Structure 1
Amino acid sequence: MKGTDIRIREVVITPVAFPDPPILNSAGVHQPWALRAIVELRCGDGLIGLGETYGDAPHLELLRSAGATLAGLDPFDTNGLWRRVCEALGGTDSPDRHGLTGGSSPQKTALRVFSPFEVACLDLQGHLIGRPVADLLGGAVRDRVPFSAYVFYKWDAHPPADGPASLVGALPPVDDPYPEAIDPAGIVAQAHRLIDQYGFGSIKLKGGVFPPDEEIAAIRALREAFPGLPLRLDPNAAWSVETSLRVAEETDGLLEYLEDPTPGIPGMAVVAAQAPMPLATNMCVVSPDDIAPGFTQGAVGVVLADHHYWGGLRRSAELAAICRTWGVGVSMHSNSHLGISLAAMTQLGAALPELTYAADTHTPWQCGVDVLERPLPITGGAVALPDGPGLGVSLDRDALARMHENFVRCAIRERDDTSYRRIFEPGYTKRRPRW
């Protein structure tokens, strides 16, 4: 490191778009193109730190405002990074439209903006000292991080649509290899495909799409097809407290955990007090302010940490330590993402003794698209900790350019699952709870 100019000289933020299948959730249906932003912190001697985050237009504006203040920052000074981000945002609150990661606040907005810069700083730190990011988080306690099969109700393909380009995209949708799954047989077939290809050792069903009895039937079909695998169900707060209690009773003995069955900490606490399985969340305990009420009220037994909105990797490790103190389990939440995020999740998961459940990932739903020179493979249901310093990955510049061109041409600038679904079902509304 001697003689190296380690201070940040340039911040480059590149929005990208990649094809997204028509997968369903309680908010609506995914649009044909998913948005992400790739962050590069460039220092002297060609050193570059990488981060990845959301690519929606309001978030991009905040990233650029914060990034403009980072020149001259020492990448080891992440406290200074936090101060600069907070000063640049000035208390802005920028909620996400689809609401699948819970409520928003100025604090959560700042943590979302800080996260990719923090990950990129840790990547730089690792390169500078020749160690993986996991070592900067306390050292690896495992060399393979387990992930869960993530199964979705989905349409066979994106239907032809005459809606605005901001919702449907100006590029034609790309075919995906996953057929329709709108009933238990389709869900089981999809799970077989994912497990055969990736070797996953647990299964999570994204629910909140059909009436609860239909989703209970899907869980029962999965249990029959995969008698030895842990199962999870996540309706994204689509059920009332009463419905949640009924589903919990009917799935007793079937589920490893039930995730966010009903909205809010008070409702979750009522369900948790009577449910026979743990309740998990990435919607009601979503920022530091939620920890005390969520844990003291006994609302959750598992927190799905997500470094993208918990403020990066070190703060996610702090969250895991708090969970350990309270006897709360830890997993990791996923949204549509690319390989830099998967690498960051793998480094974090490798360093967390508290990781008690396999993490979520959308990687199979990228259908092979990535910005990395060598995407991290999922084999035996896990991702091996990469060799090499930092995150252990590097950008494929040609792929980055193609995916940025996708962003420029696709015309989608903000995720909106509800409005997109309304194009095909004009009466559709997002309601939580719905049942």
Structure 2
Amino acid sequence: MDAHTRKRATGRRAIAEVRFTPVLVADPPLLNVQGVHQPYTPRLIVEVVTEDGVSGLGETYGDSAYRELAGPYAALLTGHDIADLNGLFTLMNTVEVDGSRVDDSVDVGGLRGARTADKLRLSVVSAFEVACLDALGKTLGVPVHTLLGGKVRDSVEYSAYLFYRWAEHPGGAGEKDDWGAALDPAGIVAQARRFAREHGFASFKLKGGVLPPEQEVAAVRALAAAFPGRPLRLDPNGAWSTATSLRVAASLADVLEYLEDPASGTRAMAEVAAGTSVPLATNMCVTTFGEIREAFLTGAVQVVLSDHHYWGGLRNTRELAAVCRAFGVGLSMHSNTHLGISLAAMTHVAATVPDLRHSCDSHYPWQSEDVITARHVFRDGRLPVSDAPGLGVELDRAALERLHRRWLADDGTLRERDDAAAMRRAPGHARWRTPALPRW
């Protein structure tokens, strides 16, 4: 079928217009193994509009590598049927940037793991796939979870995401909040109590790799004392050697639900897994289908934290869930600094996965800004699964314009996510460099 015939056959489901808008979103001074990121984070908001005027929304990372790929890709989508989701991947394989197809010379993506060219493509396609599903759901009058096969739960459980943090960014940059600093066990417990009080979270994950392991063990112990019997996780982002990982696992074996990426790389994770009964989770060494074989056959991970951006969308996330189920590997979901569009998409796909035995991660309670008209509200640590057509969210165009103007006004220093940038601006840290791993 030629393009003209296809366009005529698909009728009002054909894409008439594609918009993508880069924004800068306020991000508080949350510490990680690499340091502290900038006070604003780039995101890319995608809209596809059908010939019938139905608009679908998507969202992904907003760094230049993603924007530069999204531009020529979007140009290919005019006339594309929003129901032709497989065709989105076929089109991406034809995309050329600066006269040549995207190659594999892509640098690492910090806490996102290795940012290969393939994962870059998938992260861009994911936003357009979600937008097409949103538009298709609105066109057919059904929610996205119906298009994915139907929900198996009416709400999705999320976990409190705890961070060591400063009271503010260096020099008072960025937006202010009332959280204050959290740099010791008491600060982490106070943070957890507020999350539990305001959002009802019943499980807690601490971002580690920031302080010496003994101090992070003390923080987890303090959480266990404050919330007896509650699921606890610790994620140092590959900061530890295998020996340190095994030592920490032994000291926390009675309280951890799982230990996430204690060591860096599949081989190191397999060595740790062989020496502990604590389940190991990852969102770093298994982020593509090609990485599954080694990790699963060596027993390196017992829980995969999926991310529909990394994996290429919601349908690929369901395929990942099926593979995990076949190998007896648990599944949960990873979070980076996402807005309400991505959280809605994440909730829809999570609602369709049968064996979601672990609560999902979300940065969302840390985010003070959004581009949707009504913020998501956690109740008892859960989000309801919308039954409205599409994703069930609407774009706040005034908010989108405001955050886009911030992006336009930036001189370029904030348009690339840098997880160490703010650390270099802190007093006494001008020569800060991202630590080599393992750090301890």
**TM class, shorter-chain normalised?**
over 0.9
2:394 is aligned with 1:390: no
Superposition deviation, residue 322 in structure 1: 0.3
Which of 429, 432, 437 lines up with 1:428 in the alignment?
432
Paired AA for residue 66 in structure 1: Y
Q: Percent identity?
A: 52
**Are 1:63 and 2:70 matched, yes or no?**
yes
Please tell me whether residue 37 in structure 1 is matched to residue 41 in structure 2: no
The yes-or-no answer on 1:229 pairing with 2:234 is: no
Instruction: State the 1:47 CA deviation.
Output: 0.5
User: How much has 1:96 moved relative to structure 2?
Assistant: 6.2
Query: Which residue does 1:73 correspond to in 2?
Result: 80
* Residues 254-310 of structure 1: per-residue CA shift (max 9 Å, x gap): 100000000100000000111221000000001111010110111000000000110
Give the deviation of 1:177 after TM superposition.
2.1
Equivalent residue runs for 1:131-146 within 5 Å? 131-146=142-157
Tell me how far 1:75 sits from its aligned partner. 0.7
Give 1:30 deviation, angstroms.
Answer: 2.1
Evaluate the alpha carbon distance shift between residue 94 and residue 315 of structure 1 in structure 2; reply closer, same or farther with a 3 A threshold: farther
Q: In the superposition, relative to structure 1, how do residues 372 and 94 fare at CA in structure 2: closer, same or farther (>3 Å)?
A: farther
The size of the alignment, in residue pairs, is: 423
In 2, the alpha carbon distance for the partners of 1:98 and 1:85 equals: 20
1:123 aligns with 2:134: yes
State the shift of 1:94 in Å. 6.6
Cα distance in 2 for residues equivalent to 1:280 and 1:320: 14
**Aligned counterparts, 1:276-355, within 5 A:** 276-355=277-356
Structure 2 unaligned spans of 5+: 1-8
- Counterpart of 1:101 in structure 2: which amino acid? R
2:103 corresponding residue in structure 1 = 92
Letter in 1 for 2:77: L
Within 2, Cα distance between the matches of 1:38 and 1:96? 23
Q: What TM-score do the two structures reach when normalised by structure 1?
A: 0.94
- Find the aligned partners of 2:405 and 2:76 in 1 and give their Cα distance: 27
The verdict on how the C-alpha distance between 1:3 and 1:308 changes in structure 2, with shifts beyond 3 A counting, is closer
Distance in 1 (CA, whole Å) between partners of 2:208 and 2:410 is: 28
Cα distance in 2 for residues equivalent to 1:85 and 1:147: 32
Deviations 1:393-426 (A, max 9, x none): 1101111111111212244110112233123213
Mapped partners of 2:110, 2:356: distance in 1: 25
Residue 391 of structure 1 aligns to a residue whose secondary structure is coil
Compared CA separation, residues 193 and 22, structure 1 to 2 (3 A): same
Give me the whole-angstrom Cα distance separating, in 2, the residues matched to 1:371 and 1:201.
28
8 Å contact kept, 1:98–1:416: no
State the alpha-carbon separation in 2 of the partners of residues 71 and 256 from structure 1: 47
Q: Distance in 1 between matches of 2:195 and 2:393?
A: 24
Alpha carbons of 1:94 and 1:229: their partners in 2 closer, same or farther (altered >3 Å)? farther
Distance 2:11 2:398 in 1: 28
How does the TM-score come out when normalised to structure 2? 0.93
The one-letter code matched in structure 2 to 1:115 is S
Instruction: Tell me, in whole angstroms, the C-alpha distance in 2 between the residues paired with 1:74 and 1:352.
Output: 26
Deviation for aligned residue 1:101? 2.0
- Asked if 1:413 is matched to 2:419, the reply is no
Change (3 A) 1:188 1:176: same
Q: 1:83 — aligned with what?
A: 90
Establish whether residue 403 from structure 1 lines up as the match of residue 414 from structure 2.
no
Whole-Å separation in 1 of the counterparts to 2:279 and 2:286: 15
Within 5 Å, give how 1:127-276 maps onto structure 2: 127-160=138-171, 172-276=173-277
Contact kept in structure 2, 1:346 and 1:385, CA below 8 Å: yes
The residue aligned with 1:164 is: none
Per the alignment, residue 24 of structure 1 pairs with 31
CA RMSD of superposed structures (Å)? 1.5
Kept after mapping to 2: 8 A contact 1:98/1:417:
no
> Equivalent residue of 1:160, what SS?
helix
Q: Which amino acid aligns with 1:127?
A: K
Shift of 1:378: 0.9
CA distance in 2: counterparts of 1:175 and 1:46, whole angstroms: 39
Q: Which amino acid aligns with 1:156?
A: A
Change (3 A) 1:3 1:25: closer
Per the alignment, in what secondary structure is the counterpart of residue 5 of structure 1? Answer: helix
Q: Is contact 1:373-1:396 (8 Å) kept?
A: yes
SS at match of 2:230: coil
One-letter identity of the residue aligned with 2:397: R
Matched residues in 2 for 1:393 and 1:354: separation?
26
Preserved CA contact (<8 Å) 1:278 1:300 = yes
- CA deviation after TM superposition for structure 1 residue 3, in Å: 9.5
CA contact (8 A) 1:59 1:94 kept: no
Q: 1:372 to 1:150 in 2, by over 3 A?
A: same
Partner Cα separation in structure 2 for residue 46 and residue 279 of structure 1: 46
Report the counterpart of residue 113 of structure 2 in structure 1. 102
Deviation digits for residues 124-157 of structure 1, max 9, x if unmatched?
1211211111111111000100000000000011
Cα distance in 2 for residues equivalent to 1:276 and 1:3: 54
- Alignment check: 8 A CA contact 2:26 2:41 kept: yes
What residue ranges of structure 1 are gaps of 5+ in the alignment?
A: 162-171
Shift of 1:95: 4.3
> How far has the Cα of 1:57 moved from its partner?
1.6
Residues 88-129 of structure 1: per-residue CA shift (max 9 Å, x gap): 052434746552122132321221111101111111121121
Deviation by residue 1:342-368 (Cα, 9 ceiling, x = unmatched): 10011011111121100000111112x
Residue 287 of structure 2 contacts residue 311 of structure 2 at CA under 8 Å; is this kept in 1? yes
* Higher mean C-alpha displacement, 308-317 vs 59-68: 59-68
Q: Secondary structure at the match of 1:377?
A: coil
